[in-house]
Structure 1
Amino acid sequence: MSLIGLPTRATRALDNRVVLISGAHGGLGAAAARACAQAGATVVLLGRKVPKLNRVYDALAQVGSEPLIYPLDMEGASPDDYAELANRLHLELGRLDGLLHCAAEFRGLTPLEHTDPAAFARAIHVNLTAPYWLSQACLPLLKQSTDAALVFTLDDSARVSQAYWGGYGVAQHGLAALMGMLHAELANSPVRVSALQPGPMRTPLRARAYADDQDIQTRDPADYADACVTLLSSAGRGHRGQIWTVRA
């Protein structure tokens, strides 16, 4: 990968690392992808919307990065699809040093009593089952790294425990439990497991819950991108097994 033209940062925290980002065309995913590229990583952009992935690719190329695109719909992908992804990464790049989960599915606030069963199942699958399948498929490759990071992004647990958050809210609690279990099981391995809980961000997901958002604490996702880099880098060792709550 040619890094000519990349701006010089005080710390090239992800030099010589390969980082896979799910939901790479979303608000936080796209911002994290740019920050990871600027920190020296080879970034693999995973998402279901190819035109949006192409825009992120172009943005990274403008700063001298050479990312890779891997289109995948996490709603319809099977465990075999994730195994094929891991195999492709191994064949084409030879390694994987970080996996950052930014993909999320949320259709809006709805009472559980009136939630379509298929919509509830879809929310659980995309927000919990699919990240587990992706993590499981990538773990053998991550374990080959001397210092690998598996990072989940979580919503505010207190907020999504409230009424109307449905399958998305339930899945967020499950994701936090999954992070803790994986940390316990991988504590003696080279794979560090942690999670980032950012503050409120101006994203399409949040807009589906708050049509008229007046929260003055809401920030651009880019304000949390450096926190993603920290957790994916060797500096993330101090957050191993933790949910890191960050407020910009």
Structure 2
Amino acid sequence: MNIPADFQAATTELKDKVILITGAGAGIGKAAALCFAKHGAEVILLGKTTKKLEAVYDEIMALSHNPNEPGEFSIKEPAIIPLDMKGASKQNYIDMATTIEQTFGRLDGLLHNASALGSIMPFEQFPEDMYQEVMQVNVNAQFLMTQALLPVLKKSPSASIIFTSSSVGRKGRAFWAPYAISKFATEGMMQVLADEYDNTKMRFNSLNPGATATNMRRKAYPAEDPTTLKQPSEIMASYLYLMSDQSKDVSGQALTISR
């Protein structure tokens, strides 16, 4: 299933929604945070680098004073959660969920955007410690975070959880072993949750953003001309669609952003 890239969202599409974005300091996570805030959401920025999160916070707050972004509401002040998913424990996520519930009362959206690439190399040469790091960030941390946040998500009248996938998580590719394996696991996690919470107020989908100009993409394809790629801000229609109530009947889908 594909989402039309030209989906048009109302300015108030996400008004009063509380949405957590992981990896919010750069790339797609940053673009999503800005986009969601522009459409009325109260965003929670999670990432491992406080300085980057603070810069995104400043950009969002600056929208309140931008005459070109008048909107129909006041921009909500974002929250910041500095957390390194590589080393975070189950208790860290439980504490985070408790804080979100005490502060906001509920969570309406969760964008699992943060991922670790590792390196592109032959399967037999891949270092165990790098494999473990990729799996920790891309699978284990997402499992523990989602598990901790489910009670808070259940308090939403219509909660959307988006897992970030990849083309190599739907068809394996040579030399991409740990990243591809982790994304196959991501797809499986999404499917299990979608089936388990079928006919509830929560929906779970995976989204493959495709070739986008991000730091991870540059690391994976160092010889590629980034000017030939879509910018993160250019693919936000799909993220808006999945976070909006217009997708309330869409769950368990492996989605791809059409070009």
What TM-score results when the alignment is normalised by the length of structure 1?
0.92
Match runs of 1:36-51 below 5 Å:
36-51=36-51
Determine helix, strand or coil for the equivalent of 2:60. helix
Q: Which among 168, 175, 178 is matched to residue 157 of structure 1?
A: 168
List, as ranges, runs of 4+ consecutive aligned residues in structure 1 with deviation greater than 6 Å.
none
Match runs of 1:20-39 below 5 Å:
20-39=20-39
Q: Does 1:244 align with 2:255?
A: yes
Query: Hey, what's the Cα distance between the residues in 1 that align with 2:84 and 2:113?
Result: 14
Deviations 1:105-152 (A, max 9, x none): 113212121111111011111111111111111100100111111111
RMSD: 1.7
5+ long unaligned stretches in structure 2: 1-8, 65-74
Counterpart position of 1:193: 204
Query: Hey, what's the Cα distance between the residues in 1 that align with 2:179 and 2:241?
Result: 26
Contact 1:201 1:218 in 2 (8 A): yes
Determine helix, strand or coil for the equivalent of 2:189. helix
5+ long unaligned stretches in structure 1: 1-8
Shift of 1:247: 2.4
Percent identity, aligned pairs only, is 35
Query: Hey, what's the Cα distance between the residues in 2 that align with 1:86 and 1:158?
Result: 28
Counterpart position of 1:134: 145
Q: Does 1:170 align with 2:181?
A: yes
Aligned residues: 240
Counterpart position of 1:84: 95
Match runs of 1:61-140 below 5 Å:
61-64=61-64, 65=75, 66-140=77-151
Counterpart position of 1:17: 17
Query: Hey, what's the Cα distance between the residues in 2 that align with 1:215 and 1:179?
Result: 30
What TM-score results when the alignment is normalised by the length of structure 2?
0.88
Contact 1:200 1:219 in 2 (8 A): yes
One-letter identity of the residue aligned with 2:202:
V
Which structure's relative contact order is higher, taking Cα pairs within 8 Å and 6+ residues apart?
2
Determine helix, strand or coil for the equivalent of 1:63. helix
Contact 1:107 1:208 in 2 (8 A): no
Q: Which among 214, 219, 223 is matched to residue 208 of structure 1?
A: 219
Contact 2:218 2:226 in 1 (8 A): no
Counterpart position of 2:158: 147
Query: Hey, what's the Cα distance between the residues in 2 that align with 1:238 and 1:90?
Result: 25
Deviations 1:176-197 (A, max 9, x none): 1110110000112211111211
Determine helix, strand or coil for the equivalent of 1:226. helix
Contact 1:199 1:218 in 2 (8 A): no
Query: Hey, what's the Cα distance between the residues in 1 that align with 2:104 and 2:170?
Result: 39
Contact 2:28 2:232 in 1 (8 A): yes
Q: Does 1:230 align with 2:241?
A: yes
Query: Hey, what's the Cα distance between the residues in 2 that align with 1:134 and 1:172?
Result: 16
Determine helix, strand or coil for the equivalent of 1:46. strand
Counterpart position of 1:4: none
One-letter identity of the residue aligned with 1:25:
G
Query: Hey, what's the Cα distance between the residues in 1 that align with 2:102 and 2:169?
Result: 42
Shift of 1:226: 2.3
Query: Hey, what's the Cα distance between the residues in 2 that align with 1:222 and 1:156?
Result: 20
